[in-house]
Homo-oligomer: A and B are copies of this chain.
Amino acid sequence: MSAKALDYDQINENVKKAQYAVRGELYLRASELQKEGKKIIFTNVGNPHALGQKPLTFPRQVVALCQAPFLLDDPNVGLIFPADAIAKAKLYLSYTSGGLGAYSDSRGLPGIRKEVAEFIGRRDGYPSDPELIYLTDGASKGVMQILQTVIRCQGDGILVPVPQYPLYSAAISLFGGSLVPYYLEENANWGLDINNLRQSVAEARYKGITVRAMVIINPGNPTGQCLSIDNLKEILKFCYQENLVLLGDEVYQQNVYQDERPFISSRKVMLDMGPPISKELQLISFHTVSKGFLGECGQRGGYFEMTNIPPESVDEIYKVASISLSPNVPGQIFMGCMVSPPQPGDISYDQFIRESKGILESLRKRAHMMTDGFNSCKNVVCNFTEGAMYSFPQIKLPPKAIEAAKSAGKVPDVFYCLKLLEATGISTVPGSGFGQKEGVFHLRTTILPAEGDMPAIMESFKKFNDAFMDQYGNNIGYSRM
């Protein structure tokens, strides 16, 4: 019998090479256990609503009304919807031709793109052009489209931080390019050392790779660090010197849990630096409705903004977006509500502020609870989660545990995370899924479990971990940190 087109050994090798640990072995095992009736705490993915975060009321009211425009004529609508949500729904419906059921322009609704541009303008203090803002089905889709535009062949390299969010490694594999790692320094609070970056590029070039783009994730995923202005300036200068396009993954810009380094966009730093960098450096930055205080992951709303990209290339990006016709329109409405929220004096203002502040303040508390919890465990050290939604503790595995993992045919941190899952129901992602220095092991967990559940979860973790360390011997021989 001849081979068929979709037999495993016949399919695209790049598809097979792509790895995505966030929904990998650990997630699959957790799903199995859940089916068997075990209570699972899914902290493998930043999915706030799945762990009990309530949606903000106002954006949901607006989208519900847009979905059911016949309600706007119902005499009873005022009984269950506030007037400002009704007005906003009418405004957004006026942006469409045919409501949420019609394809929008492939770049998104012009009215929403204008609101995004105004938001960026207010944030950075420099006006932004709606024509250079494209709405997407979540930030991931935007990242994938841009990587596909950049990557021409296996010799094209993309600089990616390690540890990294595996969207990048997976998409680079899928499009047949090469990932060029640069290491974040765990000892320096996951900061970036520009000399390491230079060395990474030199090594890649030695191997014949053409480095074409650099990814930064700020605030960091999985590492949680917030980049300083100085660090950002160094990065921008470096990209300019090396003719790299900078891909700024800034989806956690509202998720900051310390006050020393508030979020500052790479675009603002770049424009502050003035020419030639402000006029020439190619920058694409990404944002989403899935993170921040909205946490509307399931709605799949995102955007990217292009700076200093030549118009002919912008046109090509538009053309490719057109092939999928349009991003989902409800997700675009959520984006509108995110960048253009209720204002002081609006009926829904107080509730909106109360809800959104409540979420961010609770996340800040949980970041502390989690970091402190990890640091109270045997052989575990963890940098503070300055931003984003994750803790990334280092787990110092004793040699006996590493041996046991080897015998079980598992990577050591996968071995540890599987045991943790079976013992406690806590579903994490092993550090190897994000990249880490050799011989050093981590896990990533979100800080999203409800505040009230956090003490019990951290206690359960500590109980498992400390018993694990006792079982395999506390002697870790040496410390890497």
Contact = CB atoms under 8 A, between A and B. Distances in A.
A10 B148 CA distance: 12
Contacts of A149: 6, 11-12, 15
The 10 closest A-B pairs by CB, nearest first: A49-B98, A298-B329, A64-B68, A50-B98, A49-B101, A50-B102, A23-B322, A300-B328, A8-B312, A49-B102
A101 B295 contact: yes
Count the copies.
Answer: 2
A295 B3 CA distance: 39
A138 B326 CA distance: 10
A151 interface: yes
A33 B245 CA distance: 35
Contacts of A80: 71, 74, 76-77, 80
Contacts of A150: 5-6, 11-12
Interface in A350-373: none
A48 B99 CA distance: 11
Interface centre among A2, A11, A63, A171 (most CB of B within 10 A): A11
Contacts of A244: 5
Interface string A50-65: 1111010100110111
Interface string A439-450: 000000000000
A314 B74 CA distance: 47
A164 interface: no
A406 to B, nearest CB: 25
Contact of A5 (B13, B101, B245, B323): B245
Contacts of A77: 80
A360 B405 CA distance: 61
Interface in A92-142: 96-106, 137-138, 140-141
B298 A137 contact: no
B298 A20 contact: no
Nearest to A52: B98
A12 B152 contact: yes
A375 interface: no
A213 interface: yes
Interface string A308-333: 01101100100110111111111100
B322 A20 contact: yes
Nearest to A22: B322
Interface in A440-464: none
Contact of A137 (B64, B106, B300, B319): B300
Given A68-B60, A79-B76, A138-B324, A298 B100 contact: yes
A260 interface: no
25 contacts: A4-B245, A4-B280, A6-B310, A7-B313, A11-B316, A12-B149, A15-B149, A22-B322, A23-B322, A45-B103, A48-B101, A49-B99, A53-B98, A57-B70, A61-B68, A63-B67, A64-B65, A64-B67, A102-B298, A140-B324, A144-B323, A174-B320, A174-B323, A297-B326, A300-B326
